Amino acid sequence: MSGPNTNYDPVEVAALEPAAVQAAVDAALAAIAAASSLDELKAARTAHQGEKSPLALANREIGALPPSAKAEAGKRVGQARGRVGQALAARQAELEAERDERILVEERVDVTVPALRRRLGARHPIELVAQRLVDSFVGMGWEVAEGPELEAEWLNFDALNLGPDHPARQMQDTFFLDPVDSGLVLRTHTSPVQIRTMLEKEPPIYIVAPGKVFRTDDLDATHTPVFHQIECLAVDKGLTMAHLRGAIDAFVQIMFGEGTRTRVRASYFPFTEPSMETDFVCFACHGSGSTTPGSAAQCRTCGGSGWIELGGSGMVNRKVLAACGIDPDVYSGFAFGLGIERALMLRHGVQGMHEMVEGDVRFSQQFGMEV
């Protein structure tokens, strides 16, 4: 540290001479004015106001001056530093305002521009209702079972007690596969999944089998060559028709809402004995058969009967159990199956089968946007 020097001549301290101080101020003001960005201004601040700037260095020299010279030099340098400081602050404010202005323009967001929206698909209503039924049955402890759409003719017919000459075999308009003796068909129903399951598993068996089925129908308002069925099969000790009715009721309530009543009528399927056709109470007229209570006009949904046909069902034929290696004296079983398209068309007033199969997402969207 340098001590006071009594012989010191202030005039010789060049940095403190008025001209030198003025030159430092001029240089600083020029640099500040020339700074066109905040970065440049920062550099100018370091150069002209920082510790090693000419004015800071000059300021340091003041302490070494004799007392008589200190005040004047101090005032000169102080004023000079003050001017530089003010100029810096003013330019800083200017540049910040410019920057804010620029950001407002450059980073402008037009909130009115329509968003680029990627259109979501929707699961088909058939898929939705099948999934809902499957989920509900899985929730009750049933398992999902699936079989191939290209099925062995033997599993689609023979194993279900539909022998080659059985008249019911002709009732189902079958797509056969070339060559004729390939033994393969496009399955006409989901019932071969019953056989596949019984051959593979020991009772107790509780399965729900959804899937595509095929029949040689032309596409028209009520028919389609490819449609969907969902089928349930239970095999256990002591199962009776009461259990079958209970399962059908549970199924129908999931599909059509709580409190939907069912009834069964005698029918015939070679693989169930006894066999039944299941009807459920018409959701439009609630079983009255007329458009409005007491009116003579027939309900259009059920054709005036008050009931809508759901599908086939019955107790698994003993012959079928035995053919699958299950002792019919120990076990009994029930099965039921239905076409999903028809049920959905009725439920939702779908005008024609075309809407069901064309795959237009707007059709699916009406049933909810589950993806």
**From the annotation, which residues make up the binding site for Mg(2+)?**
273
Burial, 198: exposed, middle or buried (Cβ in 10 Å; 0-12, 13-18, 19+)?
A: buried
Mark the segment that binds ligand PHE (CB under 6 A) among 38-46, 60-68, 244-252, 334-342: 334-342
Nearest approach in angstroms of CB 291 to ligand PHE is 31
Number of shown-chain residues binding ligand PHE (CB under 6 A): 12
Closest CB 141 distance from ligand PHE, rounded Å: 20
Q: How many CA atoms lie within 13 A of 349 on its CB side?
A: 4
Task: Please state the φ and ψ torsions of residue 35, each to the nearest 5 degrees.
Answer: -65, 120
Residue found under tokens 């005036």: 304
User: Mask of contacts with ligand PHE, 275-314, x by CB under 6 A?
Assistant: ------------------------------------xxxx
275 close to 313: Cβ distance less than 8 angstroms: yes
Cross-strand bridge partners of residue 19: none
Do 220 and 313 form a contact (C-beta atoms < 8 A)?
no
Question: Which of 54, 147, 211, 337 touches ligand PHE by CB under 6 A?
Answer: 337
When asked if residue 157 is in the footprint of ligand PHE (CB under 6 A), the reply is no
Shortest distance in whole angstroms from residue 187 CB to ligand PHE: 10
Asked if residue 341 binds ligand PHE (CB under 6 A), the reply is no
Question: Do the bridges between strand 272-281 and strand 307-316 make them parallel or antiparallel, or are there none, so unpaired?
Answer: antiparallel
Nearer to ligand PHE, 61 or 273 (CB): 273
Tell the smallest beta-carbon distance from residue 160 to ligand PHE (Å). Answer: 8
Q: What letter represents residue 157's amino acid?
A: F
Binding to ligand PHE (CB under 6 A): which residues in 241-280? Answer: 269, 272
Q: Please report where in the chains the tokens 């099925």 appear, as a residue.
A: 151
Angle between helices 340-348 and 125-139 (to 10 degrees): 110
CB of 170 to ligand PHE, least distance (A): 14
Q: Which is nearer to ligand PHE, 59 or 194 (CB)?
A: 194
> Looking at 231, 279, 341, 355, which residue binds ligand PHE (CB under 6 A)?
231
Q: Residue with structure tokens 């509780």?
A: 206
What per-residue string of b and e applies to 14-34 under the rule 16 or more CB within 10 Å gives b? ebbbeebbeebbebbbebbee
Binding site for ligand PHE (CB under 6 A): 189, 191, 231, 269, 272, 311-314, 335-337
